[in-house]
Amino acid sequence: MLKVKELMQKLGPGLLYAGAAVGVSHLVQSTRAGAEFGFALVGVVILSNILKYPFFQIGPRYSAVTGKTLLDGYEKLGKWAIVIFLFITLGTMFIIQGAITVVTAGVFEQLFKFNYDIRIESALILAIATVILIFGRYNLLDKIIKFIIILLSLSTLISLLGAVKNFSPPTVIPASFSLKNQAHFFFLMALVGWMPAPVDLSVWHSIWCVEKNKKDNSRTSLKDAMLDFNVGFVGTMFLALGFLSLGALVMYGTGEAFPSSASAFSGKLIELYTKNLGPWAAPIIAIACFTTMLSTTLTVLDAYPRMMRKMTTQLLPAHFNNDQCKKIYNFWLIFMATGTVFFIFQFLQNMKTMVDFATIVSFVVAPLNALLNYLVIQDKTLPKEASLSKPMKVLSFVGLSFLSIFALVFLLLKAQVVDLQTLLHLFFL
């Protein structure tokens, strides 16, 4: 018990990473992948996690050896790197926060049996989250996230065991996944976009690492920082496989499909659990799903203002010279929440379309984020322990190539420059 307590004390930013990652990508996209294609995309989930691993772990690695955030590393590359990341952030933050908040509102409806305008419920959730962050900040996030992740992990594991026990062969065999099918290909892009999370989450992670150092009044060692990260990273990968398996074991081949609305989708998701655990479990599972999505809403809503505050002081040092200024954080927090509400009211048509759009946008910009991270960790002035191993450098090159090629393929398809069959013949077949 003493060792477990010591381990839990070391964990913090890694579980915040998990809290941000285990949300839409897992509850929505992974479950859809299993429900629509069975276990056909298991390899894609694993491969996506492996190929993105080097870029995510650069965040805690850099913070552990320097005591600074990745944004400080970007600044060392030059102002151009900060400007690029600023445009990426401004171009994605309302989309990402909007998709997460709408899913949270859908689970909220199922939990409390409300049936109001999903947009108003989303605005209410954002307002409550904003107040929590203004008064709670990092300490509150650090305290609640451990409980939430453990609760969701246990409920998912128990439900998965029940699904295996009650499994019966599919009665209807749907069309198998095919890269040649453009709809399937676009869903693959959406799945990989947030699997396990957007790459810019590595920047958030580095910020949380610095915040933990301030809270503890000491700098976390590289060994402990990587342990914390690896626990969160590996845990999110197994949870993704768990959700995919639930979808495959309970829904694949039944003729059922996930609805497009956030509330109905959430109801179907909760049903996946209750089919295996019994009706008594519905309130518990609804609470687990809601707290998971609420934690994702909180962590993402917290991360963007922290990044924007830091970039504000980096780009306008003559006007803003304190990167811990509460007023700057609060300004960007309110700006973020207000902009997200506007985005939801203007562009929400159905939940699945919104989620796919958000995840694909993240996939397209992922190569830029990954490249910036790799350039930061290549800094020759960093301590030797910060350097990536040769195998990790190789994996970084493979991952960057993968992200770049598929982003280019997607853009060419959307621009209708070429058709999918030609591209597949050229690159893969």
pLDDT in tens, 351-404: 667 777 777 888 888 899 999 999 999 988 888 888 899 999 999 999 999 989
Q: Which of these ranges, 64-68, 84-88, 221-225, 411-415, has the smallest mean pLDDT?
A: 411-415
Q: With the C-alpha atoms ordered 251, 253, 256, 258, is the resulting torsion angle positive or negative?
A: positive
Neighbour tally for 104: CB within 10 Å:
30
Q: Are 268 and 112 in contact (CB under 8 A)?
A: no
Residues with Cβ within 8 Å of residue 174, at least 6 apart in sequence? 36, 37, 252, 253
How do residues 156-192 score in pLDDT, each as one tens digit? 788 788 778 877 777 777 778 887 788 888 888 888 8
Q: How many whole angstroms separate alpha carbon 288 and alpha carbon 152?
A: 6
How do residues 125-139 score in pLDDT, each as one tens digit? 999 899 888 876 555
Q: How many whole angstroms separate alpha carbon 333 and alpha carbon 305?
A: 5
Report CA 123 to chain centroid distance, whole Å: 21
pLDDT band at 50 (very low <50, low <70, confident <90, very high): very high
Q: How many whole angstroms separate alpha carbon 75 and alpha carbon 61?
A: 17
- Total tally of structural domains belonging to the chain: 1
The C-alpha R_g of the chain, in whole angstroms, comes to 21
Report CA 85 to chain centroid distance, whole Å: 18
Helix (H, G, I), strand (E, B) or coil at 196: coil
Q: How many whole angstroms separate alpha carbon 241 and alpha carbon 230?
A: 17
Closest CA to 236 of 273, 283, 201: 201
Closest CA to 48 of 283, 418, 370, 308: 370
Q: Which of these ranges, 11-15, 200-204, 211-215, has the smallest mean pLDDT?
A: 11-15
Domain coverage including residue 138: 2-427
Domain with residue 254: its CATH number is 1.20.1740.10
The CA–CA distances, whole Å, from 206 to 43, 304, 342, 359 equal 29, 13, 29, 22
**Tokens (6 digits) for 63:** 């913070």
pLDDT at position 9: 58
The CA–CA distances, whole Å, from 241 to 46, 128, 180, 276 equal 8, 32, 24, 17
Tell which wins on pLDDT, 318 or 349.
318
How do residues 262-274 score in pLDDT, each as one tens digit? 778 888 878 877 7
End-to-end alpha-carbon separation of the chain, Å? 54
Residue 278 φ then ψ, to 5°? 105, 160
**Tokens (6 digits) for 268:** 């179907």
pLDDT band at 2 (very low <50, low <70, confident <90, very high): very low
The CA–CA distances, whole Å, from 178 to 37, 41, 195 equal 10, 11, 19
| Residue 235 buriedness (CB in 10 A; 0-12 / 13-18 / 19+) | buried
pLDDT of 302 higher than 90: no
| Residue 180 buriedness (CB in 10 A; 0-12 / 13-18 / 19+) | exposed
